Amino acid sequence: MVSMKESPLHAAFSPRAITPRGEHLLDGLEDVFLREGFRRVTMGELASRLHCSRHTLYQLAESKEELVLLVLARVLGRIRRMGLEAAGARSDIRERIVALVEPGVSELRRATSLFFADVAAFAPAKRLLEQHQNARREDTQRLLDEAIRTRTFRDINSRLAAEVIVASVQRVMDSSFLVEVGLSAADAIRGAEDLLLHGLLHLHERATPSAKRSASRLAVAAKSSSRTTRRR
């Protein structure tokens, strides 16, 4: 069972004793930040859009910067918690690894390149994201160790594999990369996940039935071409 250990920075900005009204406001703030980023919006604009007073927002956090960290810690904490819970509910190790990664796709579906650019430009938020990714790397490595031990995956260096997975996710979440390839963060993460997990399987398990049929047709075509060439 993969356990969850809270990082110091994550703990410092994890919401505690938030009222239902506060949770509702944090939901609204999360939606704004993920879709539009946070550097350009003011507390006054946020209060107006959420139909509350600035005083109400300052009851959640003492500044906009702390409010951003509060919202980000909430999102990242939810992603990790959901992944661990989903992985723990499955028995097949491959399904557990996919389940561990999947919340990063579903919960960041609204996130735009503006959001990731703002996170990269705000050092405390960047550190918080890095700590989250380090924790997710450790979670992933523990599952990879199990997959290697049960011979589901090849005998590889699990630390290296986990690092490659996290580094790949970090890269595809980069705002400039997302603009360049024209993908949402969710689609980019899902693509990286699919590529990496299929690359970890044993050779005879990598090809899907349709891929095997295609390979068979190509082999037949190659043999036919070879016979034709020899007759010439």
Please give the Cα distance from 72 to 129 (Å, whole number): 8
Please give the Cα distance from 60 to 66 (Å, whole number): 9
- Using a cut of 0.95, tell me whether the model's pTM lies above it: no
The pLDDT value given to residue 39: 95
Domain assignment present for residue 223? The answer is: no
Domain assignment present for residue 122? The answer is: yes
The pLDDT value given to residue 217: 47
Average pLDDT, the chain: 81
More confident residue, 232 or 116: 116
Spatial contact of 13 and 70, defined as CB atoms under 8 Å apart: yes
Domain assignment present for residue 222? The answer is: no
Domain assignment present for residue 206? The answer is: no
Spatial contact of 127 and 50, defined as CB atoms under 8 Å apart: no
DSSP reduced 3-state for 19: coil
Q: Quick one: pLDDT band at residue 93, thresholds 50, 70, 90?
A: confident
Q: Quick one: pLDDT band at residue 210, thresholds 50, 70, 90?
A: very low
Domain assignment present for residue 229? The answer is: no
Domain assignment present for residue 218? The answer is: no
DSSP reduced 3-state for 191: helix
Q: Taking residues 205-218, report their average pLDDT.
A: 47
Exposure class string for 3-38: b at 16+ Cβ within 10 A, else e: eeeebebbeebbeeeeeeebeebbebbbebbbeebb
Q: Taking residues 188-199, report their average pLDDT.
A: 73
Spatial contact of 106 and 186, defined as CB atoms under 8 Å apart: yes
Does residue 202 surpass a pLDDT of 70? no
Which domain range does residue 89 map to? 8-201
Q: Taking residues 7-27, report their average pLDDT.
A: 71
Q: Which amino acid is at 164?
A: V
Task: Please name which of 5, 121, 13, 138 lies closest in space to residue 74, comparing C-alpha atoms.
Answer: 13
Which pair of structure tokens corresponds to residue 124?
């405390």
Q: Taking residues 114-139, report their average pLDDT.
A: 94
Does residue 10 surpass a pLDDT of 60? no
Q: Taking residues 76-86, report their average pLDDT.
A: 95
Domain assignment present for residue 187? The answer is: yes
Q: How many independent structural domains does the chain possess?
A: 1
Spatial contact of 200 and 154, defined as CB atoms under 8 Å apart: yes
Please give the Cα distance from 48 to 175 (Å, whole number): 28
Domain assignment present for residue 207? The answer is: no
Task: Please name which of 154, 44, 162 lies closest in space to residue 97, comparing C-alpha atoms.
Answer: 162
Which pair of structure tokens corresponds to residue 154?
């090849």
More confident residue, 121 or 101: 121
What is the distance, to the nearest Å, from the Cα of residue 122 to the centroid of all Cα atoms in its chain?
Answer: 19
Please give the Cα distance from 167 to 161 (Å, whole number): 10
* pLDDT one-digit tens code per residue, 127-165: 999 999 899 999 999 999 999 999 988 898 999 988 888
- 90: CATH: 1.10.357.10
The pLDDT value given to residue 231: 52
